[in-house]
Amino acid sequence: MMFENILLEIEGPIATLTINRPEKRNAVNNATVEEIDKALDQVEANPDLRVLILTGAGEKAFVAGADIKELDKRDTLLGRSETRRRQEVYTRIEQLEIPSIAAINGWALGTGLELTLVCTLRVASAKARMGQPEVKLGIIPGAGGTYRLPRLIGMGRAMEMILTGEPVNADEALAMGLVNRVVPPEKLMEEVRVLAETIAARPKLAIQYAKEAVLRCVEGSLIEGLAHESYLHALSCGTEDKKEGVASFLEKREPKFTGR
């Protein structure tokens, strides 16, 4: 399928989704949201994929925010419908069976930061800048920022970012746990690819269950989280990859996982 605003490239077990509007600093408009949704259909339909990478085209921005022309037309009714749709599509990324990695190559502001927050891991270029500047426009975050940001970096830091609208640089983002790694700009995609390949080499079902267990523990109570972890651990013990993993360890050889 051909897209106008994004690129979807599949190489082996890794898919790369690129927001491809560099002339607009990859601002996400409504059409881009719908294309992301269609791309996720393709990702979910491909049983051979193990990791999804998200990034932005060009050198300036991952996603510099929402499309300001569409925002200018947004009234109360559109504000509700458009943000709900964006939340729905972004949440699909978070709930994929496979992990996702945000390769943050520049500005990640507003809906751009929120797009990174639904990813499993975040790797930032040293020149990246990240923020929730919506209050400067008289609005608040609308694609999950008020929910996910405090859960990732704590309420105090999230409140400061949201209430001031000021961005943080890559080193500050790393210090507060907003990103997992900071790498030189010219090494970003190489480092992300290595990380993706490392995860892709692990047993598919173990990765799927581990990701699901962590998300459930974060979202639910201690008792619920532990019960679900125990359930998924038991499922993983019944897989062929578990047998292969243990056997290869005992036999001191590299495992040959099959995803079953």
* DSSP per position, 57-105: SSSSEEE--B-HHHHHH--HHHHHHHHHHHHHHHHHHHT-SS-EEEEE-
Is the pLDDT at 89 greater than 80? The verdict is yes
The per-residue pLDDT for 238 is: 86
Task: State both tokens at 243.
Answer: 């047998």
| Domain regions of the chain by residue span | 6-200, 204-250
Could you tell me the pTM of the whole model? 0.92
Q: Helix, strand or coil for residue 245?
A: helix
With a pLDDT cut of 90, the percent of the chain lying above it is 75
Beta pairing class for 107-109 and 129-131: parallel
Lowest-pLDDT range of 12-26, 137-151, 223-237:
223-237
Q: How confident is the model at residue 172 (pLDDT cuts 50, 70, 90)?
A: very high
Average pLDDT over residues 31-50: 98
The per-residue pLDDT for 195 is: 99
Residue 154, by phi and psi: left (phi above 0), alpha (psi -120 to 50) or beta? left
Beta pairing class for 14-19 and 6-11: antiparallel
Is the pLDDT at 73 greater than 80? The verdict is no
- CA-CA-CA-CA torsion for 143, 127, 101, 234, nearest 10 degrees? -100
Pick one of 3.90.226.10, 3.40.50.1100, 3.40.50.300, 3.40.228.10 as the CATH number of 6-200. Answer: 3.90.226.10
**How far is 27 from 111, CA to CA, in rounded Å?**
9
Ordered strands of the 121-125 beta sheet = 6-11, 14-19, 51-56, 100-104, 121-125, 181-183
Is the pLDDT at 217 greater than 90? The verdict is no
Is the pLDDT at 131 greater than 80? The verdict is yes
Give catalytic residue positions.
114, 134
